[in-house]
Copies of this chain bind each other. A is one copy, B any other.
Amino acid sequence: MDKLTLIKVGGKIVEEEDSLYRLLADFAAIEGYKVLVHGGGRSATKLAGQLGIESRMVNGRRITDEDMLRVVTMVYGGLVNKNIVAGLQARGVNALGLTGADMNVIRSVKRPVKDVDYGFVGDVQCVDGALLADLIRKGLVPVMAPLTHDGKGSMLNTNADTIAGETAKALAVHFDVTLVYCFEKRGVLRDEADENSVIPVITPADFRHYVDEGVIQGGMIPKLENSFEAIAAGVREVIITSASAIDGRGGTVVRATAD
């Protein structure tokens, strides 16, 4: 199968001009089929603040009432997405900006209210991998905003890591997929204080071991659980790295087995 690289970058990287330009150049240089999934939370928080709308987060997720849905639709679907698309076009990448509503590419369901009412937040139900694969084979490069829709007329705010993972799984039927999660650190660290302590490879057995030992904790646990889930669903490998190394070199490779 043809190789495909799916890169997920967080808000900070795409929201500052210097790091955005570097990312665009690095992403343009990736050979073969590729997809970019972006965040934009900081810009959303900033615009909300300017409009007098309070940003409330629970378990790292944004509570999205009607006003906040308007803000994230503007920031993720408009400002951040279109600046990336225009920037990639200038670098010879035939980018197509997408939310889940466009071509019904990602349908979600509004998260049911349990302990917390997250509001207009979507849990992904279905990614149209065949449609995306068709566009990608035509030479288009999807640039996906962290927004989906409910099929009933409403946009839904949707976690970018989730979009990346679900899209990677849907594309794994059509391509040999490498999923790269970019974040602030160089990879999964053995010692949080030491950037040079990147764990090069993590298998499920390693993971349990590191969690038991307390080496891996906090927000990294769901990130790795999602990574193993993606691999179980057919994604070849998941790389956790920093945005300054989106080719994955020097990061942590998450694999089903050690070899």
Contact = CB atoms under 8 A, between A and B. Distances in A.
Nearest to A97: B102
Contacts of A87: 153
Contacts of A91: 153
A249 interface: no
A47 B79 CA distance: 14
Nearest to A24: B153
Interface stretch (A54-62, A69-77, A199-207): A69-77
Interface stretch (A144-152, A161-169, A209-217, A229-237): A144-152
B89 A83 contact: no
A90 B147 contact: no
A1 to B, nearest CB: 24
Given A74-B75, A83-B73, A90 B153 contact: yes
Contacts of A83: 73, 155
Interface residues of A, number: 38
Nearest to A103: B96
Given A90-B153, A149-B89, A82 B99 contact: yes
Interface centre among A74, A86, A94, A95 (most CB of B within 10 A): A86
Nearest to A52: B50
A97 B101 CA distance: 9
A201 to B, nearest CB: 37
A77 B70 contact: no
A153 B74 contact: no
A150 B153 CA distance: 32
13 contacts: A47-B74, A73-B78, A76-B78, A77-B82, A77-B97, A78-B78, A82-B101, A82-B155, A85-B149, A89-B101, A89-B149, A90-B151, A95-B103
Interface of A: 47, 50-51, 70, 73-79, 81-83, 85-87, 89-91, 94-97, 99, 101-104, 140, 147, 149-155
In the A-B complex, the 6 residue pairs with the smallest Cβ-Cβ separation, listed nearest first, are: A78-B78, A74-B74, A90-B153, A77-B78, A74-B78, A86-B101
